[in-house]
Each structure stands twice: as C-alpha cells, then as structure tokens.
C-alpha cells in the first residue's frame, strides 16, 4: 500500500482497478477462441500495459474523429475507439448465454409504443426509438419479459476519475435505471 501511494495518481487508480474482485480473471481464463479470449502475444502485452495505465507503442496519431489518439481516447470515442465494440461484445456474450437457458431472447427489442403515458422521472425514455439491449422472456417469471441494458464505462475518464470506482459504477447503474425502469415496469409489466 505504501508503494502504491508513491505512484502517479493515474497508476494508483489502475492498481485500485486491478485489485477489484473479478478483474484478474482474464489472467486465469482459458484462451477460448469462440469467445475471442485467445489473445496473441502482442495483444496480451498491450492488455498488461493497459492494466497499469501505461502508454502503448505504435498507436495512430489521430483518431477518425480528428482528436489526438490515445488509449484513454480509444476507450471513450464512439467513432474511432473501442467503447462500442466492448459494449456490443458484452451484450452479445450475454445473449449467447441466455440462449442456452431460454428460448425467447431478443437483441435490442422495440418497446411497446407509448400512448400518452406519463412518468415521474423526466429522464425516462419516452421516444419510441429507445430500446434496451436485451429482452429475455421467462428470466424472472414465466411468460414475462425481463429487460437488460449493458453499460460499459472507462473508469479513468475525467468524469469517473474524480469518484471512487464503486461510486462511479453505481452512478452509471442509477442512470440506466432512470432511462428504462419506470417505462418497463409500467408499460411492459
């Protein structure tokens, strides 16, 4: 712990993240090709460097969005980064696992259109283009749908770095609940 306090703040944060429950499973996971867990030597080295928030060699200078490219930028940019890939990979793995136990699983389901319903929370999704990531019928109760929405965050983003990690995660979870929970409960039942 004393050594950790002598590190720069960004690396202290990386050490805190690396010591959280479950974050070391990649080091003991079988390299299963079907789940893209089979990292080559360079990918594994890059993973280790990212784990301690170290810079990666040979990155492009500029992102397709026009900003300077960095590991941090790649974890936040929706145009030239990897955040959408991480989200979609997580969602798709969840769907694959749900399909092994349930027969009615849907990716990005349309919600029932609203017909004048009002919600207490102003942040609730009221447009018909809002949709959670996954619907699973029979997850909690037979013939009833459960809805799941994946959120991937970069804990070293400026908005998250000022908070303890668990607080940042909790805030993101609350935000997702504000978007969908009331509508799903009241309209979708």
Question: In 3D, which of 131, 114, 120 has the Cα closest to residue 178?
Answer: 120
Helix (H) or strand (E) holding 66: none
- Cα separation, 87 vs 84, whole angstroms: 5
Residue 80 predicted with pLDDT over 80: yes
SS3 content of the chain, % helix, strand, coil (to 5): 45, 5, 50
Could you tell me which of 149, 154, 175, 150 has the C-alpha nearest to residue 81?
A: 154
- The rounded percent of the chain whose pLDDT value lies above 90 is 30
pLDDT surpassing 80 at residue 6: no
In this model, does residue 138 exceed pLDDT 90? yes
**φ, ψ for residue 142 (rounded to 5)?**
-55, 140
Higher-confidence residue: 91 or 20?
91
Average pLDDT over every residue of 148-159: 87
- pLDDT band, very low/low/confident/very high, at 4 (cuts 50, 70, 90): low
Q: Summarize the confidence of residues 74-94 as an average pLDDT.
A: 90
pLDDT tens for 19-58 read 888 888 878 888 888 877 888 999 889 888 888 777 888 8
- The answer to whether residue 1 scores a pLDDT higher than 60 is no
Tokens of 2: 């004393």
Q: What is the structure's pLDDT at 171? A: 92
Residue 90: pLDDT band with limits 50, 70, 90: very high
Please state, for a pLDDT cut of 70, what percent of the chain lies above it.
97
Query: How many Cα neighbours within 13 Å face the side chain of 87?
Result: 20
- How far, in Å, CA of 30 to CA of 92, rounded? 19
Average confidence score pLDDT of the chain: 86
Cβ–Cβ < 8 Å for 132, 184: yes
Please give the Cα distance from 86 to 78 (Å, whole number). 11
Cα separation, 182 vs 114, whole angstroms: 12
pLDDT value of position 149: 92
pLDDT tens, 116-137? 888 887 778 777 777 899 999 9
């Amino acid at each position: 712990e004393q050594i950790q306090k002598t590190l720069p703040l960004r690396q202290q944060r990386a050490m805190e993240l690396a010591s959280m429950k479950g974050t070391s499973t990649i080091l003991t996971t079988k390299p299963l090709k079907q789940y893209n867990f089979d990292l080559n030597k360079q990918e594994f080295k890059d993973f280790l460097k990212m784990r301690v928030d170290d810079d990666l060699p040979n990155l492009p200078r500029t992102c397709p969005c026009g900003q300077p490219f960095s590991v941090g930028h790649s974890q936040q940019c929706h145009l030239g980064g990897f955040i959408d890939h991480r989200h979609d990979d997580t969602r798709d793995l969840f769907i694959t696992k749900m399909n092994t136990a349930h027969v009615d699983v849907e990716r990005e389901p349309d919600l029932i259109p609203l017909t004048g319903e009002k919600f207490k929370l102003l942040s609730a999704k009221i447009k018909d283009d809002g949709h959670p990531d996954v619907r699973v019928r029979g997850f909690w109760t037979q013939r009833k749908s459960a809805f799941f929405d994946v959120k991937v965050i970069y804990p070293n983003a400026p908005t998250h770095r000022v908070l303890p990690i668990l607080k940042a995660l909790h805030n993101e979870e609350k935000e997702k609940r504000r978007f969908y929970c009331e509508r799903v409960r009241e309209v979708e039942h």
